[in-house]
Amino acid sequence: MQFKTLPKVGRSESEIELELDLILQDNELRMGKVFQPPKGVEDFSKRIFAKFMSENAIKSQRGDWIGEIEKQVIQMCVGLFNAPGDASGTFTSGGSESIYTAVHAIREWAKTHKPHITEPEIVVPYSAHPTFTKGCHYFGLKEVRAGLDETWRASPELMDAAVTKNTIAVVASAPCFPYGLYDPVQEIGDIATRHDLWMHVDACVGGYLAPFLEELNIGLPRWDFRVGAVQSISADLHKLGCCLKPASTVLWRSEQLLQYHHFHPSNWPCGTYDMVGFAGSRTAGPIFAAWATLQHLGVNGFVRVAEELLIRKKELFDGINEIEGLKCWDNHLVPVVFEATSVDLAKVKAEMSNRKWNLYGTQEPPLINICLDPASDDNVVDEFLSDLSDAVRLTRQGSVLTKGSLSY
């Protein structure tokens, strides 16, 4: 049924719910939902979310009872990134808002520290999230994308060459979305130090997994505040932080950097308008759900999630490599990406999509990305591999008729 106008007479709850349940059923996707928390954790978080959903977090900046919980979420998070004592953070609605927040702060910082620059530029690797392009567009900055090296990571040489007298910041991903690879954060940090630039690290996808991989002695490249040049980090709670959307964080090396984020006008009849970020009225649900999820999982819970993901990754890695014509990349866990050596990957993705598998694509080079969910178990992986093997066979036979594409 399609409704283009408000119904003249309101409809019953049950009729509406039935209709919406059908929509949900028809659109149920498997794996990569994206980053669905483990089932028990999700059910618990939903209950807490619902309890606080109707509360308004508009005054959290003033440290009301909601602000107190929001502050504790930030404190629990900041502690994971090896920051110096007075580091701080801001709770946001997602990776996009975290990145806009950082880009805005970078612009304001440059107004103070590089007042002679009138047309500021930010240098980002080609593989960085498109949200940097959007952020630069929104805030009137010029974004310069530097090419990658032969291993598909950011190239410090090309980034350095892209720095001009107008550059105010550099960006690295830890890891980037298209390939799940860590950029050489330390080397890019050296560029920032040499030219006195702000450095932002985008750890949206991996930020809340990395500390627990380290606990398991999985060697990761240095990427967090231990790299001295890093001023800010974006990390999504609603990805591998196992929290419900909308929840993300942007973390600042020092509390003092918050001054470049905050903007509290008072030129209206009601006095100071001091919001935590871009939003005014917003639900307290995600803040409380995040607090509850972090408290409930604890370090041991997150380590368990990391261990489970490592097991799933290994199963996928081995299983994909066993399928003739496919080859899985050896990256740092997420997303799991694979290329094709002798089969049309776009068709394979199309067939998987027909079977309700939610996969992402990369065009340069042709890849399929799997946003491995913490909710996935052995059964999901087995079904996935079996369908993938079918999809490759059908593609080879020329029997996949759906027009495929490797676009995101």
Ligand X SMILES: *Cc1c(COP(=O)(O)O)cnc(C)c1O
Site for ligand X, rule CB under 6 A: 94-96, 129, 131, 173, 176-177, 202, 204-205, 236, 248
The letter for the amino acid at 43 is D
> What's the closest the beta carbon of residue 387 comes to ligand X, in angstroms?
25
Task: Supply φ then ψ for residue 335, to 5 degrees.
Answer: -65, 160
Nearer to ligand X, 136 or 400 (CB): 136
Buried b (16+ CB within 10 A) or exposed e, 375-395: bbeeebbeebbebbbebbbbb
Nearer to ligand X, 32 or 189 (CB): 32
Nearer to ligand X, 34 or 144 (CB): 34
d(C-alpha 404, C-alpha 391), whole Å: 12
Dihedral sign for Cα 404, 405, 406, 407, please: negative
> What's the closest the beta carbon of residue 310 comes to ligand X, in angstroms?
19
> What's the closest the beta carbon of residue 132 comes to ligand X, in angstroms?
9
> What's the closest the beta carbon of residue 286 comes to ligand X, in angstroms?
12
Nearer to ligand X, 200 or 253 (CB): 200
Q: Residue 356 carries which DSSP code? A: T
- H or E element at residue 328: strand 326-328
> What's the closest the beta carbon of residue 104 comes to ligand X, in angstroms?
15
Helix, strand or coil, per DSSP, at residue 257: helix
Mention every residue, 6+ apart, whose C-beta is less than 8 A from residue 270: none
- H or E element at residue 108: helix 95-113
- Beta strands at 336-340 and 367-370: parallel, antiparallel or unpaired: antiparallel
Kindly state the tokens that stand for 37.
């928390």
Nearer to ligand X, 99 or 348 (CB): 99
> What's the closest the beta carbon of residue 242 comes to ligand X, in angstroms?
14
> What's the closest the beta carbon of residue 125 comes to ligand X, in angstroms?
11
> What's the closest the beta carbon of residue 99 comes to ligand X, in angstroms?
6
Nearer to ligand X, 66 or 176 (CB): 176
Whether the CB-CB separation of 143 and 133 falls below 8 Å is answered with: yes
Region of residue 169 (phi > 0: left; psi between -120 and 50: alpha; otherwise: beta): beta
Whole-number CA gyration radius for the chain = 22
Nearer to ligand X, 94 or 277 (CB): 94
Nearer to ligand X, 201 or 323 (CB): 201
> What's the closest the beta carbon of residue 151 comes to ligand X, in angstroms?
18
Angle at the Cα of 208 (from 121 to 205), degrees rounded to 5?
50
Q: Is the bond into 286 cis (omega within 30 degrees of 0)?
A: no
> What's the closest the beta carbon of residue 70 comes to ligand X, in angstroms?
18
Nearer to ligand X, 94 or 120 (CB): 94
Nearer to ligand X, 334 or 391 (CB): 334
Kindly state the tokens that stand for 138.
């929104």
Q: How far is CA 141 from CA 100, 128, 144, 176, 257, in A?
A: 12, 16, 10, 22, 19
Q: How many residues does the chain have?
A: 408
- Which residue of the chain is nearest ligand X when measured via CB? 95
d(C-alpha 38, C-alpha 42), whole Å: 6
E strands present in 128-265: 142-146, 167-173, 198-202, 230-235, 248-252
